[in-house]
Amino acid sequence: MGPTEPLMVQSDGTLMLHTVHTVTDAAGRPAKDEQGRPVTAEHPRYQAARDALAPFAELEKSPDYLHTYRVTAISIWNAAALGVTAEEIERTLDEFSCVPVPPGILERIRGWLERYGLLRIERVGDEERFRLVAGDPAALEDVLGHASVRGRVEVDDAGQVFVDPLERGTLKQALIRIGFPVDDCGGFVEGDPLDVRLRTTTLGGEPFGLRDYQQRAADAFHAGGAASGGSGVVVLPCGAGKTVTGMAAMAKVGAKTLILTTNTVAVRQWKQELLDKTELTEDQVGEYTGDCKEVRPVTITTYQMVTWRRSKAEEFEHLSLFGRENWGLVIYDEVHLLPAPVFRVTAELQARRRLGLTATLVREDGKEDEVFCLIGPKRYDVPWKVLEGQGFIANAKCVEVRVPLDDAERANYLAAGSRSKFRIASENAAKTAVVQALLGLHAGDRVLIIGQYIDQVSHLAGILNAPLITGKTPQADREDLYAKFRTGEVSTLVVSKVGNFAIDLPDANVAIQISGTFGSRQEEAQRLGRILRPKSDGSDASFYAVVTLASKDQEFAERRQLFLTEQGYSYRIIEAHALEASLGGTSHLGSQVASVGPDDPGGVR
């Protein structure tokens, strides 16, 4: 702790982290620039503090000079699951704080950590019955005072608390809602055996083996087959091989596996990877989609498929897939997108091993606690920048290009309601010239242009004479375009939000985001992830967010960037009119984009 440290800890759990500091001269006085303004630079302790906070705090705001984090019960419990102790958290806060850390927040953190594992679910001998036990009898008495808990258990005359197998998940949900995470040590059914062996060479003859972090992730999840393992989430960046990590977990479990993912493209990519990198045969891997309903020892389906129903009044016809086979493992790909009906059926699947794979635990619906208690806590996590530094994902440069509205559109914007303001700003016609300029600067690169609105991406695809993929594009056409992109026959693809997930385009090295889903942090991470596969020539990846200056679009862009800022990425802010000067090369902007003006000088966030 010291007055020059970058962190201020507040008693409500808010952590204020200074990203810059004032530069001083040899005499210790504030240095001034030619205009007499104080000279600032990145705080020398900012990056170390950011990395130290990441395991137990969540970034909430990231303006240019002051980042706001918050510690919550879930962030602390996930840290506890990774072995982080109260002493380590307190030491971190004290080390980087510029003022004394309020004792109240330290007490709250210790209280949250003490509750982790205080309650346990244990199997009663060899029976199919379970018991809720507590390290502190007072805690058990406390939770039984809540009707939501008492109604899901049976208490015998000796005060023992028994849990019906079908209530195992719903009890954990009820307990976490009142602030008590449960350590589920009840174990798992083994499922029907299936020998899953990883190849040493792919079908194409390329050497194949697990990377160290993939092996560590699978080991952390499986925990040697102990009851303390077998459920939880592995967090790895897009492009880091989450699918391979899932296959490593399958090999460890050695049982029939159900895999849920985001769309049919992802289903086929999983199948292709399984056949390429394991010794599983074609007749052992089934696709369960609208096109083909195969139930095999390894079955791959989509969230949309298992939650489909003919009308809101009818039943989900395919949820029965969860109970159709004696699955030994259920893998939830992109677990941060898990829909509510799957949460409900997962509550009944607590006897099955469950692995969540994701690039971010952030859920825009705030249901991180549901993932924590029903899938399991975070078992393994590695910062994006660490893997970037090791060469496992591409170096990425993030740039935000700010574009003004013209006078007519500005008038429409000011007169509109809040939601309409966002759309008007998102569909700013001046963004087209910026996209054209960026394509000029990246001639010869493989470029993905991603947008939220169908009218916008359709119009842009027409102007650029580039292929367009939306949710209505037939699957065969999508796969044909992706194949042409991989070979270089097509160098630019315009995609709607279907491009957020499961596009395996390893040579894509530029992404241009022209609009997004309000402040979705997970979407920003997924879109950057589309270009993070290491490039064969070792080149960097470039991610551009084109946003409308001083608008709801800019406001939500700042929210979207939170997760990536937490991971160590910074966004270089560029004025549209200065694009070519800032990035080099010749653009097509000319006079199509007006000057941004002196009140928004840009910078790094």
The string of pLDDT tens digits covering residues 69-83 is 889 999 999 899 888
267-301 pLDDT, tens digit each? 999 999 999 999 999 999 999 998 889 999 999 99
Q: Please tell me whether residues 416 and 466 are part of one structural domain.
A: yes
Secondary structure (3-state) at 386: helix
Percentage of the chain surpassing pLDDT 90? 51
Query: So what's the pLDDT on residue 584?
Result: 61
191 belongs to a structural domain: no
Range in 160-174, 470-484, 517-531, 585-599 with the lowest mean pLDDT:
585-599
Residue-wise pLDDT for 154-177, tens only, equals 999 888 999 998 899 999 999 999
Question: What's the pLDDT score for residue 600?
Answer: 36
- Considering the domain architecture, whether residues 267 and 355 belong to the same structural domain is answered as yes
Q: What is the mean pLDDT of residues 438-450?
A: 93
Q: CA 387, 390, 391 angle in degrees (round to 5)?
A: 90
pLDDT tier, 490 (very low <50, low <70, confident <90, very high otherwise): very high
Average pLDDT, the chain: 87
Q: What pLDDT is attached to residue 524?
A: 81
125 and 93, same structural domain?
Answer: no
Count of CA atoms in the C-beta half-sphere (13 A) of 438: 27
Residue ranges of the alpha helices (H) in 158-288? 168-177, 212-222, 242-253, 264-277
Per the structure, the complete domain to which residue 447 belongs is given by 389-604
Please write the tens of the pLDDT for every residue from 2-50. 888 999 999 888 999 998 887 777 777 777 777 778 777 888 998 899 8
Of 95, 115, 135, the residue at which a domain comes to its end is: 115
- What are the two backbone dihedrals, phi and then psi, of residue 599, each rounded to the nearest 5 degrees? -80, 0
| pLDDT at residue 315 tops 70 | yes
- Residue (of 445, 402, 359) closest to 571 by Cα position: 402
Among 115, 149, 170, give the residue marking a domain's end: 115
Least confident of 43-57, 141-155, 221-235, 311-325: 311-325
Is 549 found in the same domain as 435?
yes
Over residues 500-516, mean pLDDT: 80
Residue 564: band (very low, low, confident or very high) from pLDDT cuts 50, 70, 90: confident
What gap in Å lies between CA 343 and CA 373, rounded to an integer? 10
Mean pLDDT of 499-525: 78
* Of 308, 272, 263, the residue nearest 496 (C-alpha): 263
**Predicted confidence band at 601 (pLDDT cuts at 50, 70, 90)?**
very low
Instruction: Say whether both 365 and 281 belong to one domain.
Output: yes
The DSSP letter of residue 373 is: I
Q: Is the pTM of this model over 0.75?
A: yes
Residues 278 and 311 in one domain: yes
Residue 347 lies in a domain: yes
Q: Where are the alpha helices (DSSP H) in 289-366?
A: 303-306, 321-324, 340-346
Q: Mark out the alpha helices in 117-211 (DSSP H runs).
A: 137-144, 147-150, 168-177
- Split at pLDDT 50, 70, 90, the class of 331 is very high
Residue 151 within any structural domain of the chain: yes
Residue 125, in any domain of the structure: yes
Residue 416: count other Cβ atoms within 10 Å of its Cβ: 15
Q: How confident is the model at residue 597 (pLDDT cuts 50, 70, 90)?
A: very low
The answer to whether residues 402 and 370 belong to one domain is no
pLDDT in tens, 392-442: 988 889 999 999 999 999 999 999 998 899 999 999 999 999 999 999 999
Question: Does 244 map to a domain?
Answer: yes
Residue found under tokens 């695809």: 461
Q: Quote the pLDDT of residue 578.
A: 78
Is residue 536 located within the same domain as residue 421? yes
Contacts of 557 (CB under 8 A, 6+ apart): 400, 516, 545, 547
Same domain for 223 and 157: no
Distance CA 359, CA 334 (A): 7
Q: What CA–CA distance (Å, rounded) separates 445 from 505?
A: 13
Note whether 279 and 408 are same-domain residues. no
Does any domain span residue 173? yes
The region of weakest confidence among 71-80, 113-122, 344-353, 489-498 is 344-353
- Residue 514 pLDDT level (bands cut at 50, 70, 90): very high
What is the Cα 125 distance to its own chain's centre? Answer: 39
Query: Residue with structure tokens 């469950």?
Result: 354
Longest dimension (CA), the chain: 83
| Lowest pLDDT segment from 354-358, 460-464, 551-555, 591-595 | 591-595
pLDDT at 343: 76
pLDDT at 585 over 80: no
- Dist. CA 250–CA 481, nearest whole Å: 32
The domain tally of the chain equals: 4
Q: Which of 95-109, 194-208, 348-362 has the lowest mean pLDDT?
A: 348-362
**28 torsion bin: left (phi>0), alpha (psi -120 to 50), beta (else):** left
Q: Of the candidates 115, 135, 160, which is a domain's last residue? A: 115
pLDDT at 63: 65
380: which DSSP letter?
E
pLDDT of 519 higher than 70 = no
Is residue 197 in a domain?
Answer: no
The β-bridge partners of 477 are: none
**Same domain (yes/no): 78, 124:** no
User: Which of 67-71, 151-155, 500-504 tops mean pLDDT?
Assistant: 151-155
Whole-number pLDDT of residue 352: 92
Share of the chain above pLDDT 70, in %: 94
CATH at residue 333: 3.40.50.300
Tell me the two tokens of residue 134: 């507590």
Does residue 542 or residue 604 have the better pLDDT?
542
Q: Are residues 278 and 360 in the same domain?
A: yes
| 200 in any annotated domain | no
